[in-house]
Amino acid sequence: MSFDKLNSPVDLGFTVLKNRVIMGSMHTGLEEEKNGFSKLAAFYAARARGGVGLIITGGIAPDRFGRLAPNSAKMTNHSEVEEHRLITKAVHAEGGKICMQILHAGRYAHHPFALAPSSIQSPINRFAPWSMPFWIVTQTIRRFVRAAKLAQEAGYDGVEVMGSEGYLINQFLTSHTNNRRDEWGRSFDNSSRFATSIVSGIRQAVGRDFIIVYRLSMLDLIEKGQSWSEIELLAKRIEEAGATIINTGIGWHESRIPTIAQMVPRGAYSWVTKRLMGKMRIPLVATNRINTPELAEQLLQEGACDMVSMARPFLADPDFVRKAVSGLSHQINTCVACNQACLDFIFNRKTASCLVNPYACRETELKITPASIIRKIAIIGSGPAGCSAAITLAQRGHRVVLYEAQDKIGGQLNLAAGISGKHEFKETMRYFQVQLNVWNVDVRLSNEFRLIDAQGYDEIIVATGALPRAIDIAGIHHPMVINYRDILEGSVKPAKRVAILGAGGIGIDTAMFLLKGNAEQSVAEFTNQWGIDQAYENRGGLKSATPVENSAQVVYLLQRKPGKIGARLGKTTAWIHRLELKHAGVKIKTGIQYERIHDGGIDISLNGEVQTLAVDQIIVCAGQTSNNKLYNELLSLNIPIHCIGGAVTADELNAHRAIEEGTLLGLKL
């Protein structure tokens, strides 16, 4: 496929963007780290080198009240300008352009000085905000302007004003958060003046030749959100106030509708931007779940937008645009929208990285250098750990042979990719396969490694993964008992009445598989399931949801621990799984004990009372154990042996850990 539209320039009058791709704003955590700005400079420079048309930084607060957390970065004085110069210089040296995002968190600020139009607490923040006195409102507008002026001084090509996702500007715009009786509330004209005053104030201060992107909330996805006519009117006023580009914002953070998770179909929100197309003179940008250049080109060709913004795809592959426009789109390391190493890390106060690209945000630390001594290395197992190690070692010049007992690479990724809502993992396997070819790794499929095969290798890496944990319950050997592999690999057909023992990541995935199989949801099915109103008849773009039901299927999901299921899953996705299971009628029981399995099903006890769950199939999803038998055998040989991924320990095993361990070992040998 050619990417003519994607690769066509955008003439903004005073400057030209070389293509139609924006790297959207992402907070990485480096903003607050010691020497973080030099790391950020390397991070953004790599993306500029990779050809993206315009980069937008993570959100920077215009004052201390607007910070998301007490230590979040702000732009308030000349000394802060200095560190930003590191970024702008590095990006410009690579021929890129970059805007600084100005973000005032409003009532989403996680500190006691949170400010908001009205003192209405957010359901996702333990801090209640202070209502902004009149003079603080006008002062805040001036501080947005000051931040933009300082950004200009720091060498940025422009700013993005964050007006969506439920942050301060968005909070002024709906009665959900604004019940003021003064000139900043009561009517649309009043409440929208906060946004337009910020944009016109910035334009006046920075002059004509400076980009102002405005991130417009086009779909609030909350009760009492904005109506479409208000959004359209606001867009026009923002344009009149001096914005150069309008970017799309989807959903407030407190909305209980998924907007970027993996189960959201690709391009599921592009219809929102399309509604505004033809009504504005300035370019409109589509966002959310756009992760391939093919989809981006399609949306541009269809007239759904003038530009596309992708954020996480640039964590996954800094060379996204360069690869696309040079005919190498099959070599792109695709973001799988898992959130596991980006957003979930940020929520855990860790620096962001990427599950499929451990180099992300570590550009100054992790570098591929040629090996000083070329070795012949055998890797056993082609799951995420084995493939990552093989590719990294081959990139460094080693001679690598990858053994795989199955007839395809990928290991457990094959199981995940076969579950509805998790298809993106196919892209990771495609990427691995292409890279193994590019770097001439000798891949031996259907080839079980034996001790005798070890001869002739300088090093051996064992990446044999994990096995289902066997558990001990009375009746566990009953023929109706199987494990998750049997069902996900398709060797056993699901029964109508099923009990799943264990409600961790795999138990939840297995429940989803029973309910939805491996079906890929269409955008229409997704919007119906979650109650998103494409006709936009109601405020916030909401309508009643029609959850997917599979009434023929009875599923019990069981956990011995009390409390909610999926507690160890990522914060950004666990709530979605819980809601989906609830909507689908899965019977979740926690705090139970397993008593006995028998012909009639399984006896469990809850609060001392025994009950029988009448089921025809029991699927054990009780965690995993290391598959390390071969490793232990190999230790008897006089060859350096290494062990990575699930074969080392199955605790807290996930694809992120596996890929990281494979890559780090590959960089070391």
Q: Which residues are catalytic?
A: 167
Cβ-contact 223, 176 below 8 angstroms: yes
Residues that bind ligand NAP (CB under 6 A): 471, 501-507, 509, 559-561, 568-570, 621-624, 652-654
Polymer length in residues for the chain: 669
Interaction mask 152-181, ligand SF4, x per CB under 6 A: ------------------------------
Say how far residue 363 (Cα) sits from the centre of its chain: 20
- The listed partner (ligand SF4, ligand NAP, none) that binds 460, CB under 5 to 8 Å by sort, is none
Report the residue number, 336 or 463, with the smaller CB distance to ligand SF4.
Answer: 336
Stretch that binds ligand SF4, among 43-51, 64-72, 352-360, 543-551 (CB under 6 A): 352-360
Helix/strand/coil percentages in the chain, nearest 5:
35, 20, 45
Q: Is 356 a binder of ligand SF4 (CB under 6 A)?
A: yes
Question: Residue 21: which of 273, 322, 360, 265 has the closest Cα?
Answer: 322
Distance CA 343, CA 570 (A): 9
Question: Residue 300: which of 262, 346, 267, 333 has the closest Cα?
Answer: 267
Among 312, 422, 423, 485, binds ligand SF4 (CB under 6 A): 312
- The listed partner (ligand NAP, ligand SF4, none) that binds 624, CB under 5 to 8 Å by sort, is ligand NAP
| Closest CB 98 distance from ligand NAP, rounded Å | 32
- The listed partner (ligand NAP, ligand SF4, none) that binds 622, CB under 5 to 8 Å by sort, is ligand NAP
Say how far residue 352 (Cα) sits from the centre of its chain: 11
Report the residue number, 147 or 622, with the smaller CB distance to ligand NAP.
Answer: 622
Report the residue number, 145 or 514, with the smaller CB distance to ligand NAP.
Answer: 514
Question: Residue 637: which of 385, 462, 503 has the closest Cα?
Answer: 462
- The listed partner (ligand SF4, ligand NAP, none) that binds 492, CB under 5 to 8 Å by sort, is none
Report the residue number, 148 or 508, with the smaller CB distance to ligand NAP.
Answer: 508
| Closest CB 505 distance from ligand NAP, rounded Å | 3
Stretch that binds ligand SF4, among 117-125, 208-216, 337-345, 533-541 (CB under 6 A): 337-345
Report the residue number, 397 or 623, with the smaller CB distance to ligand NAP.
Answer: 623
Amino acid sitting at position 578: R
Q: Is 417 a binder of ligand SF4 (CB under 6 A)?
A: no
Report the residue number, 215 or 422, with the smaller CB distance to ligand NAP.
Answer: 422
Say how far residue 533 (Cα) sits from the centre of its chain: 24
| Closest CB 368 distance from ligand SF4, rounded Å | 19
Stretch that binds ligand SF4, among 77-85, 87-95, 147-155, 333-341 (CB under 6 A): 333-341
Question: Residue 339: which of 403, 274, 263 has the closest Cα?
Answer: 263
Among 342, 503, 648, 653, binds ligand SF4 (CB under 6 A): 342
Distances (CA, A) of 163 to 35, 67, 246, 418: 29, 15, 10, 38
| Residue 196 CB-density burial (10 A; 0-12 exposed, 13-18 middle, 19+ buried) | buried
Q: Is 613 a binder of ligand SF4 (CB under 6 A)?
A: no
Question: Residue 117: which of 46, 58, 39, 195 has the closest Cα?
Answer: 195
Among 315, 402, 586, 613, binds ligand SF4 (CB under 6 A): 315
In 628-666, which positions are buried (b, 16+ CB within 10 angstroms) versus exposed (e)? bebbeebeeeeeebbbbbbbbebeebbbbbbbbbbbebb
Cβ-contact 88, 154 below 8 angstroms: yes
Among 46, 103, 141, 337, binds ligand SF4 (CB under 6 A): 337
Interaction mask 259-298, ligand SF4, x per CB under 6 A: ----------------------------------------
Kindly state the tokens that stand for 45. 């420079």
620 SS3 class: strand
Report the residue number, 26 or 61, with the smaller CB distance to ligand SF4.
Answer: 26
Distances (CA, A) of 71 to 65, 102, 568: 11, 16, 26
Residues that bind ligand SF4 (CB under 6 A): 312, 315-316, 335-342, 354-356
